Amino acid sequence: MALDISSIQQQFPALNHASYVYLDSAATTQKPQCVIDRLSHYYQNQNANVHRGSHHLTAGATQAFEEARLLVSHFIGAASEQEIIWTRGATEALNLIAQSWGRTNLNPGDEILVSESEHHANIVPWQLVAEQTGARVVKIPMSPRGEFGWDEYTQLLNARTRLVAVAQMTNVTGTRNPLESIIPLAHKYGALVVVDGAQGIVHEPVNMIDMDADFYVFSGHKLYAPTGIGVLYGKKSLLNAMPPWHGGGKMVEKVSFEKTTFAGLPGKFEAGTPNIAGAITLAEAIRWYQSFDFTQIEQHLHQLQHMTYQALSQHEEIRVIGYQPNASILSFVVEGVHHQDVATLLDQQGIIVRAGHHCAHPCMDAFGIQGTIRLSFGIYNTTEDVRKFISALEKALSFF
């Protein structure tokens, strides 16, 4: 059966009878009612800390919290739920890897290869740990279309390469990077691979055993779940060998002033009270999303993107940046007009888009621009949303 987009849209209270069109799902998705209800249910009926105490509330919260971890492990095809670490989001997960694995394993002269099209969250942590260890960050240039620079990558890999950091999909153009080729080649050189799945997790099924990434991270809020919850996947052997990053309660086995011993996985990386409600609600969002056919969702998003691209192509003053067919993102500039001015006029007409550098300065520099107007589609968007956007854009263009 085809997706009933009208019915799906009704599940999103923020969009019901809204006076705006929301085209910024790559920044954060809106939340379905079932996710909002699950969050409220936890605080109304289950609120308690986890892995502490013996009363029935904490037992119930702990069970739901760990069941959520198990569900995530199945969702991404991990070998064990012990390989799933709760974080505040993809950014914290990347910093955890840099500060725990990186500070332990990197030495002066070691190299970290990072794609030029990365989000700042997959650049800055590696720069920080390089300064701390004497390693160096090496850019993998992207092509003029914003695609992964495969030829440059093969030339840059060498015996000093210790880590490769790359996105599953980029947040500026929606480009899918060829992980199935990037990862095995890095492993041939003895390098580990960190994959930023923040954009990709919602657009294609993943299986960690098949992908063979050493680390994989994503945020819940781009997957129709709340903000403040994210996931770090790491191969068990790597996580076991890494020291804790944060210290505090729960992540310890025994504390004394002479010596502290740490808990096993995943506890040693989850100091303090975690985002319990966030983890439980992320599981609810995943269950909800899995109730739809993944292929049909993507076909729907690609149709919206293609429809938008065809309309934009009719305007000579518009330049689409790094166009990728069959994506859910479209970035463009209006020649001679600042991107923020375009976005402001769209907003005044009830069209919500993202304008700016999208936390990807190196990518913008490579394209030779200061920023773009970015449209990003979610499951709830319709062809009528696209028509309204095009109408509003044409009015904005007439103003300029």
CA distance 271 to 243: 13
| Closest C-alpha to 358, from 370, 341, 346, 342 | 370
- To the query of whether residue 363 is one of the catalytic residues in this protein, the response is no
Do 103 and 95 form a contact (C-beta atoms < 8 A)?
no
Q: Please, which contacts does 151-159 make with residues 24 or more away whose CB atoms are closer than 8 Å?
A: 153/113, 153/182, 153/185, 154/185, 156/111, 156/113, 157/113, 157/185, 157/186, 157/189, 157/191, 158/111, 158/189, 159/189, 159/190
CA angle 152, 154, 160 (to 5 degrees): 105
What is the side-by-side strand order in the sheet with 161-167? Answer: 84-87, 230-234, 215-219, 192-196, 161-167, 111-115, 136-140
> Residues 14, 15, 21, 24: what is their CA dihedral angle, to the nearest 10 degrees?
50
Unique residue bearing structure tokens 């969050």: 39
Do 372 and 331 form a contact (C-beta atoms < 8 A)?
yes
Do 36 and 224 form a contact (C-beta atoms < 8 A)?
no
CA distance 172 to 322: 8
| Paired strand residues for 376 | 24, 329
Instruction: Indicate the DSSP class of residue 141.
Output: P
| Paired strand residues for 233 | 84, 216
Structure tokens at 264: 């096993």
Do 354 and 318 form a contact (C-beta atoms < 8 A)?
no
Structure tokens at 36: 């909002």
CA angle 133, 115, 77 (to 5 degrees): 90
| Closest C-alpha to 276, from 28, 69, 35 | 69
Do 371 and 356 form a contact (C-beta atoms < 8 A)?
yes
Structure tokens at 248: 């505090």
- From 5, 263, 359, 364, the catalytic residue: 359
Structure tokens at 149: 């620079």
Structure tokens at 180: 């199935």
CA distance 148 to 166: 9
Residues with catalytic annotation?
359
